[in-house]
Structure 1
Amino acid sequence: MRACLLLLGILVLPTATGLAAGPPAADNVRVYRCVASNGAVALQSTPCDDNHRQQVLDMQRPQDPPPRPPPAPAAPAPAPIEREVRIVTVQPPQPLYECISPDGERYTSEDGVGNPRWVPLWVGGYAPRTRIGGSISGSATVGSGSLSIQGGRPGHGHPHPHPGGAAVATGTWVRDTCHPLPQQEVCARLRDRRWELVRRYNSALQSERQALTREQRGIEARMDRDCGGH
């Protein structure tokens, strides 16, 4: 009788364990841990047989990560910046030239062209006569690049030729030599000229003051442009 009850307990124990476990939750997975008599352990998804000790493990079923939110729409590209293009034209300083006459006189020129002068080229070996006392050597006429001189006396409508005193010359127009001044010297001369105009203005006539004022304004504008206003 005692042996029969022991056998009944062995048969009922697995069934009672299976019923107590109950079905797994919907979001769980059930794992059966089976231990054999020799201590070997096996994990399986089905219940253990009668020769193994059984342990039921309910584990959370692996789940996929939540879907990523859709990427935010790309921000519109910024509108291109319109850059203002400025073209700056720098005018070079206006030059000033210094010219020298044959007698050593120095003067300035805006265009570098010196004053013209007539240089005769005498032919025949005679030089023109000069005025001596009340007589005059002759009259000079310039035309087509030549110079004619005839001897005579004052008071006659047409001078008469003087024997041995006539000479014929040809010549040409030449200009004084000029050279450009350094910009620092140009500014210095402009300042001197402006100061000279200021001094002349106080003693000038009313008609002269207008011309002096115009010239002074032109010099000041040129100094502002080429000399930094100084």
Structure 2
Amino acid sequence: MRRHLITAAALLLAVPAAAQQTIVIYHCTDAGGAVTVQNDAPCPAGTTQRTREIDPPPPLPAYVPMAPPPEPAASTLVPLAPLTAGERPPDDPAAVAARAIDLRSLPPPPLYQCVTYDQNRYFTADAEPQSRCQPMQTVGIGGLQGLGAGAACIRVVDTCAPVPEQALCEAWRARLDEAEFRLKFARGHYDTRARRDEYAALERTLDASTCAGVGDR
């Protein structure tokens, strides 16, 4: 089995800035139609290979907690009475067309790059960093490790930063590749169904934005 695949963005963030290079993602399709996504080596002989190069995202800045929103001011507006059927003007087709929003003219939703205490990196749409239980070293009687010393952990928060707007399309495609990998290696009916729903939702979001048709998935 191929070693665990990581996304291009995660691999890029794991190396020093001076050594960061363009990452090549290989999409390999075998004779049976099975697709493998990898970034460590070209596709093996006998498979169809497609490649995509991605640029390194900028390094993560330090996480700064968001300030709470200000309290809304009390409204002094008096609501208007609704128009009756006779008073309501008909919709002008030209005005309706002008008000219609083409979803593909909008950028994709924001994403955040996060890193855990053990240096695992991931993308998320949640602006609130996750907290995790980092194991602590425990010792038994006499200061020896193990020997029924028990276990303990400390709560730590992931470090997250927003993905720059110019890197959003690549980040969303990398997130879709991650979901595709999880779907291919899902176990059991319920896990497969959940992974399929996750992949479909991410694909719809990407296709309904300015990222649709940009680059090769």
Q: Considering the TM-score relative to the shorter chain, is it more than 0.5?
A: no
Larger radius of gyration: 1
Q: Which has the higher contact order (CA 8 A, sep 6+)?
A: 2
Structure 2 length-normalised TM: 0.39
Q: Which has the higher strand share?
A: 1
Structure 1 length-normalised TM: 0.37
